[in-house]
Amino acid sequence: MPVTNVVSTSLSIQSFTSSEPGAWSNSYLITGESEAILFDVFMLHGDAKQITEGISKSGKTLKTVMVSHAPS
């Protein structure tokens, strides 16, 4: 059976580590051509602000935020 309309897309994964030792916080930004997904969020306000500003400046649309742990 022939396959039609196949779209080739590359994804990029960027990892971010908390700026303060002991905060034990990592986030991962997965981006495609025009959209982004944020996997886990930072515990520190300054780190969260920095990653959101970076997403905004990239021009990509943040579609989903996934959190893999319960809030403390």
pLDDT in tens, 17-62: 988 877 778 899 999 999 999 999 888 889 989 999 999 999 999 9
Helix (H) / strand (E) containing 55: helix 45-58
CA 5, distance to chain mean position in Å, is 28
Please say if the pLDDT value at position 12 is more than 80. yes
Q: What is the pLDDT of residue 20?
A: 86
Q: Which residue has the higher pLDDT, 7 or 49?
A: 49
Residue ranges of domains in the chain: 12-66
> What's the pTM value of the predicted model, to 2 decimals?
0.76
Rounded to 10 degrees, what is the CA torsion of 21, 40, 47, 60? 150
Q: What is the pLDDT of residue 5?
A: 63
The SS3 assignment for 25 reads coil
Q: What is the pLDDT of residue 71?
A: 63
